Chains A and B, each alone.
Chain A
Amino acid sequence: MSLLLVPLLPLAAALLSLLPAGRRLASAATLLADLTALALAGRAALAVAAAGRLIAVPGWVELDGLGALLLALSTFVAVTAALFSWGYVGRHDHRDARARLYYFHFNLFTFALLLVPVLAEPALTWIAIEFTAVFSVLLVAFDDTHESLEAAWKYIALMFMGAAIALLGFFILFWAQQTVGGGEYSWAGLRLMAARLPLPMVTAAFVLVLIGFGTKAGIVPLHTWLPDAHSQAPSPVCALLSGVKTTTALYALLRLVPLLPVASVDAWLRIAGLVSVGVAAFLLIQVRDYKRLFAYSTVEHMGIVLVGVGLGGPAATYAAMLQLVNHGLTKAFCFLAAGAVLLALGTREIASVRGLIRSSPSAGAALLFGALAIGGAPPFALFLSEFSIFRAGLEQRQYVVTALLVAFITIAFFAILLHVNRMVFGPAAEPAERPTAGAKLPASALAALAVAAVPVAVLGLYQPGSLHALATLAASSLLPVSP
Chain B
Amino acid sequence: MAQPLSAPGAQLWLANLNALVGGLFLLVTFALVSLRQVYACVRGFVAQAVLLAASAFLLAALYGNWDLMVIGVVDLVAKAIVVPGVLRQTLHDEVQTRREITQVLNIPTALLAALALTILAYFLAQPMLAAASGPAIAVNLPIGLAGLLVGAFTAAVRREAVPLFLGLLAMENSALFAGVAIAPEMPLIAEVSIAFDVLMMVFVVGILTRAVHERIGTTEVGALRTLREESRR
A and B are partners in one complex rather than unrelated chains: yes
List residues of A whose CB falls within 8 A of some B CB: 121, 123-124, 126-127, 130-131, 134, 137-138, 141, 144-147, 149-154, 156-157, 160-161, 163-165, 167-168, 171-172, 174-175, 178-179, 182, 185, 198-201, 204, 228, 232, 286, 288
Query: Residue of A at shortest CB range from B217?
Result: A146
The 8 lowest CB-CB distance pairs between A and B, nearest first, are: A123-B190, A164-B171, A200-B127, A171-B179, A175-B182, A168-B175, A198-B131, A174-B183
Q: Given contacts A147-B227, A157-B164, A179-B132, is CB(A164)–CB(B208) below 8 Å?
A: no
The answer for the CA separation of A286 and B229 in the assembled complex, in Å, is 9
Q: For residue A131, which residues in chain B have a CB less than 8 angstroms away from its CB?
A: 197
Which stretch in B2-10, B86-94, B148-156 binds the other chain? B148-156
Asked if B67 is an interface residue, CB under 8 A from chain A, the answer is no
A216 nearest CB across to chain B (Å) = 14
Count: A-B pairs, CB below 8 Å? 137
The answer for the CA separation of A160 and B165 in the assembled complex, in Å, is 9
The answer for the CA separation of A126 and B215 in the assembled complex, in Å, is 33
Q: Given contacts A145-B215, A150-B227, is CB(A127)–CB(B155) below 8 Å?
A: no
Asked if B204 is an interface residue, CB under 8 A from chain A, the answer is yes
Q: Is the CB of B151 within 8 A of A164?
A: yes
B42 nearest CB across to chain A (Å) = 17
The answer for the CA separation of A110 and B161 in the assembled complex, in Å, is 28
Q: Is the CB of A164 within 8 A of B175?
A: yes
List residues of B whose CB falls within 8 A of some A CB: 124, 127-128, 130-132, 144-145, 148, 151-152, 155, 161, 164-165, 168, 171-172, 174-176, 178-179, 182-183, 185-187, 189-190, 193-194, 197, 200-201, 204-205, 207-208, 211-212, 215-216, 221, 224, 226-227, 229, 232
Q: Is the CB of A167 within 8 A of B131?
A: no
Q: Name the one of A123, A138, A167, A288 contacting B187, with C-beta atoms under 8 angstroms.
A: A123
The answer for the CA separation of A204 and B164 in the assembled complex, in Å, is 26
Query: Residue of B at shortest CB range from A174?
Result: B183
Q: Is the CB of B208 within 8 A of A152?
A: yes
Q: Name the one of A127, A163, A167, A232 contacting B179, with C-beta atoms under 8 angstroms.
A: A167
Query: Residue of A at shortest CB range from B172?
Result: A164
Q: Is the CB of A124 within 8 A of B190?
A: yes
The answer for the CA separation of A178 and B155 in the assembled complex, in Å, is 33
Q: Is the CB of A161 within 8 A of B152?
A: yes
Q: For residue A174, which residues in chain B have a CB less than 8 angstroms away from its CB?
A: 182-183, 185-186
Q: Is the CB of A204 within 8 A of B171?
A: no
Q: Is the CB of B155 within 8 A of A161?
A: yes
Q: Name the one of A138, A153, A232, A288 contacting B161, with C-beta atoms under 8 angstroms.
A: A153
Q: Is the CB of A164 within 8 A of B148?
A: yes
Q: Is the CB of A127 within 8 A of B168?
A: no
The answer for the CA separation of A49 and B165 in the assembled complex, in Å, is 44
